[in-house]
Amino acid sequence: MAKMRKLFSAAMAAVMAMSLTACGSSAQSAGTAQASSAEAASSSESAGSSSAASSDQKFTVGICQLVQHEALDAATKGFKDVLTETYGDRVTFDEQNASGDPATCSTIVNTFASNGVDLILANATPSLQAAASATSDIPILGTAVTEYGEALGIDGFDGTVGKNISGTSDLAPLDQQAAMFDELLPDAKKIGILYCSAEHNSVYQGQKVKEALEESGHTVQIYTFADSNDVAQVTQTACGENDALYIPTDNTAASCTGAINNVAQPAGIPIITGEEGLAKGCGIATLSISYYELGRTTGEMAVKILNGEADIKEMPVEYYANPVKKYNKTICDALGVTVPDEYEAIEE
């Protein structure tokens, strides 16, 4: 019996020892898990802090602008003003102009990619297309781009490009632009649409306005030029065959407004345009957006990206909300066009 008690006591001692060991092990595991959780939380906080811009962080922003003209210049200025107001001398701009040559856009943005800039502003469609081909890593914001789906070959574009691209659009309501012909030129039945065939967004706008004009009973013919060398000749042909012309937001046309006006105004042919810079140079009126404000909106998007406050993949393209009807008083007076009261005069 004594022997049995000894055996029982030994067994109980072993069980208690095992229980204590197990409890010690569980406590150690729990402690390790808590330490790991704390470490993970600390790492997560560190990662969050590193994604936001610190107060002394510096940025280099590459700007590729297709060509120098009033609208694109204003968009670039608005963009730079916002970043300069936000970062002061902590932001450096590498600003390049392609002088209207899409191949030069490619050279410019490839250099930006090689230099590892923090963000690229692609001002106008060819700049955006070149930047999209140059890098899939560096954030790219477009501005003065009319239709991103058309520019980037995205079927069923839903407003968000995804990947490393977003930006702002200069698309004004095209049906409202088409309706301006009936408001200002009720006797004009034959309308010519004039643009550069190399500019995808011009092709898109031209087709949409053609459809709207045809629905309202106009006869419409499209005329295209390949580059600035044949603008005057194509304009002359279009003026000889129509009562009025429409020019969309076309960068080549915008750089050649003098040549267009020198043909159209003496021929007595009024032109309605897709943006104010064109109207100021050769048109009677436009449904106008502010390219400076468009650039500022793009700059605000850039700040969110650089500060780590937004993921460009999830940022939808933004549009100008309140276009304004404007007219060119000088050309309207010269052609005898009567303008309704709601139109604002373009500043000389």
Residue 303 sits in the same domain as residue 341: no
Backbone CA torsion sign across 220, 225, 231, 236:
negative
Answer yes or no: is 25 within a domain. no
**Same domain? 239 vs 331:** yes
Query: 206 with 140, same domain?
Result: no
Residue 20 or 154, more confident = 154
pLDDT at position 61: 98
Which one is predicted more confidently, 29 or 216? 216
Q: How far apart are CA 129 and CA 66, in angstroms?
A: 11
Cα–Cα nearest to 219, from 246, 248, 192? 192
> Is 36 or 344 the better-scoring residue by pLDDT?
344
Distance CA 214, CA 233 (A): 25
The pLDDT tens digits of the residues spanning 19-65 come to: 333 333 333 333 333 333 333 333 333 333 334 666 789 999 999 99
**Looking at the domain assignment, is residue 49 inside a domain?**
no
276 & 137 share domain: no
The answer, yes or no, to whether residue 12 has pLDDT greater than 90, is no
Same domain, 295 and 282: no
pLDDT digits (tens, 9 = 90+) for 64-101: 999 998 899 999 999 999 999 999 999 999 999 999 99
| Cα distance between residue 151 and residue 171, in whole Å | 13
**What per-residue confidence (pLDDT) applies to 336?**
97
| Beta-ladder partners of 326 | 286, 344
Residues 6+ apart with CB under 8 A from 138: 112, 113, 116, 117, 118, 119, 120, 164
Regarding whether 204 and 265 lie in a shared domain, the answer is yes
Whether the per-residue pLDDT at 264 is higher than 60: the answer is yes
If 0-12 CB within 10 Å is exposed, 13-18 middle and 19+ buried, where does residue 321 land?
A: exposed
Q: Does 190 lie in the same domain as 329?
A: yes
Q: Find the length of the chain.
A: 348
pLDDT of 54? 66
Answer whether residue 2 is part of any domain. Answer: no
In a domain, residue 138? The reply is yes
Same domain for 216 and 150:
no
User: Could you list the residue range(s) of the whole structural domain that residue 183 is in?
Assistant: 174-288+324-345
Residue bearing the bigger pLDDT, 40 or 216:
216
Considering its fold, how many domains does the chain have in total? 2
SS3 for the chain is CHHHHHHHHHHHHHHHHHHHHHHHHHHHHHHHHHHHHHHHHHHHHHHHHHHCCCCCCCEEEEEEECCCCHHHHHHHHHHHHHHHHHHHHHEEEEEEECCCCHHHHHHHHHHHHHHCCCEEEEECHHHHHHHHHHCCCCCEEEEEECCHHHHHCCCCCCCCCECCEEEEECCCCHHHHHHHHHHHCCCCCEEEEEEECCCHHHHHHHHHHHHHHHHCCCEEEEEEECCHHHHHHHHHHHHHHCCEEEECCCHHHHCCHHHHHHHHHHHCCCEEECCHHHHHHHCCEEEECCHHHHHHHHHHHHHHHHCCCCCHHHCCCEECCCCEEEECHHHHHHHCCCCCCCCEECCC
Query: Which pair of structure tokens corresponds to residue 166?
Result: 């977003």
Does residue 79 lie within any of the structural domains? yes
Same-domain pairing of 138 and 180:
no
220-230 pLDDT, tens digit per residue, is 999 999 999 99
Residue 341 lies in a domain: yes
CA gyration radius for the chain? Answer: 31
The pLDDT value given to residue 56? 85
Bridging pattern class, strands 91-97 and 285-288: unpaired
| pTM reported for the whole predicted model | 0.76
The pLDDT value recorded for residue 52 is: 60
Tens-digit pLDDT profile for residues 283-334:
999 998 999 999 999 999 999 999 999 999 999 999 998 899 999 999 999 9
CATH code for position 274: 3.40.50.2300
Residues 110 and 145 in one domain: yes
Task: Please check whether residue 8 lies inside any domain of the structure.
Answer: no
Question: Does 191 have pLDDT greater than 90?
Answer: yes
User: Which residue shows structure tokens 């906080």?
Assistant: 45
Considering the domain architecture, whether residues 282 and 259 belong to the same structural domain is answered as yes
Same domain, 243 and 280: yes
